[in-house]
């Protein structure tokens, strides 16, 4: 039995502990390159390199991840083919079916981590645009047209030499088809000219445009990042921009710190609006994460840093999950 003199002290300690209790924020990450690790680096889906393994996802309160079906350009002499996308999908599906930690693609409730699929480089669909409907049925919710080199759909921010187009006619057609199916089009990796063309088509289709893993060029002048006018235009479609943790896209000229990611978040929220910023860490994609964000277990550290920087709990919730879920599932649930 507690002595009368010690009871008030214990009560104070309990109340103080409760006051300091940490808010846990669910996370939905728009770009986790586990399919690349499975298909081309010999890793398991549940472990990857350790940046987004199941244990790190659990520790970081990650409730959903978008898995890009990416095919390296050197997979064949002619580059990625439809058969390569098919093989990537089947490898991912086989691993998803083996465990419960990562759920099968879709918006349904699950005890495991939700998953969705995306394309990071949809060039093979240029000759088979009608196949997109079947891909959507399989769980593709985001279509990224291009990766680090131009293809039959679009030019890339990584092109060593400028090409004479943004979107090709096939690219414009695939954007229209994606929007007709309720699927977002991803402009991460697209050239400025291609971004402009995607946004122009979106104005006609009323479709959603996203940048799943890109930052603000105003803070880090890199062609992979977006200008403020591009950020506003993406927001105007109802889309989101996913904050990328890769150090060279966070800050130039020095090592990136967690505080630099916070500054990117603040800028994106200020320019695009709190309803149009999300997470697109780019884990498992061969990135060099900003210090303090080495793997998915550190999302709570980012949440605390954002709160200290002045973001409200509502803003952090939206940035961490609700905005992404609106794009992926049409709601914040």
CATH number at 192 reads 3.20.20.140
Domain count along the chain: 1
Is 219 within a domain?
yes
Q: Tokens 């690219």 correspond to what residue?
A: 171
Is 76 within a domain?
yes
Return per-residue pLDDT of the chain as tens, 333 residues: 344 444 444 333 333 333 344 678 999 999 999 999 999 999 999 999 999 999 999 999 999 999 999 999 999 999 999 999 999 999 999 999 998 899 999 998 888 999 999 999 999 999 999 999 999 999 999 999 999 999 999 999 999 998 999 999 999 999 999 999 999 999 999 999 999 999 999 999 999 999 999 999 999 999 999 999 999 999 999 999 999 999 999 999 999 999 999 999 999 999 999 999 999 999 999 999 999 999 999 999 999 999 999 999 999 999 999 999 999 998 645
Task: Classify residue 205 as left (phi > 0), alpha (psi -120 to 50) or beta.
Answer: alpha
In the beta sheet, which residues pair with residue 12?
none
Is 147 within a domain?
yes
Is 12 within a domain?
no
SS3 label, residue 246: strand
Residue 241: in which H helix or E strand, if any?
A: strand 241-243
Burial class (CB in 10 A: 0-12, 13-18, 19+), 62: buried
What residue numbers bound the domain in which 100 lies? 25-329
CA separation, residue 288 to residues 29, 232, 294, 332 (Å): 17, 28, 8, 30
Is 218 within a domain?
yes
Residue 120: in which H helix or E strand, if any?
A: strand 113-120
Of residues 14, 32, 38, the one with CA closest to residue 96: 38
pLDDT tens for 263-318 read: 999 999 999 999 999 999 999 999 999 999 999 999 999 999 999 999 999 999 99
């Amino acid at each position: 039995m507690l002595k009368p003199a010690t009871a008030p002290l214990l009560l104070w300690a309990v109340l103080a502990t409760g006051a300091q209790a940490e808010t846990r924020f669910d996370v939905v990450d728009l770009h986790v390159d586990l399919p690349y690790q499975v298909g081309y680096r010999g890793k398991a889906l549940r472990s990857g390199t350790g940046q987004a393994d199941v244990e790190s996802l659990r520790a970081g309160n990650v409730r959903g991840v978008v898995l890009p079906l990416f095919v390296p350009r050197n997979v064949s002499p002619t580059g990625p083919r439809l058969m390569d996308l098919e093989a990537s999908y089947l490898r991912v599906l086989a691993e998803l079916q083996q465990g419960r930690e990562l759920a099968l693609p879709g918006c349904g409730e699950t005890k495991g981590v939700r998953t969705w699929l995306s394309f990071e480089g949809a060039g093979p669909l240029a000759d088979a645009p009608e196949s997109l409907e079947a891909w959507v049925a399989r769980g593709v919710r985001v279509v990224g047209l291009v990766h680090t080199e131009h293809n039959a759909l679009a030019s890339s921010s990584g092109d060593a030499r400028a090409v004479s187009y943004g979107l090709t006619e096939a690219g414009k057609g695939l954007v229209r088809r994606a929007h007709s199916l309720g699927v977002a089009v991803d402009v991460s990796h697209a050239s400025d000219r291609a971004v402009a063309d995607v946004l122009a088509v979106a104005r006609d289709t009323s479709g959603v445009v996203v940048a799943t893993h890109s930052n603000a060029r105003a803070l880090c002048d890199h062609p992979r990042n977006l200008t403020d006018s591009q950020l506003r235009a993406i927001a105007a479609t109802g889309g989101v921009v996913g904050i990328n943790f890769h150090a060279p896209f966070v800050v130039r000229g020095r090592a990136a710190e967690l505080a630099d990611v916070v500054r990117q978040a603040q800028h994106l929220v200020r320019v695009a609006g709190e309803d149009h910023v999300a997470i697109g860490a780019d884990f498992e994609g061969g990135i060099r994460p900003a210090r303090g964000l080495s793997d998915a277990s550190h999302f709570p550290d980012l949440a605390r840093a954002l709160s200290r920087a002045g973001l409200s709990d509502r803003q952090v919730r939206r940035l961490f999950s609700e905005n992404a879920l609106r794009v992926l599932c049409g709601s914040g649930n």
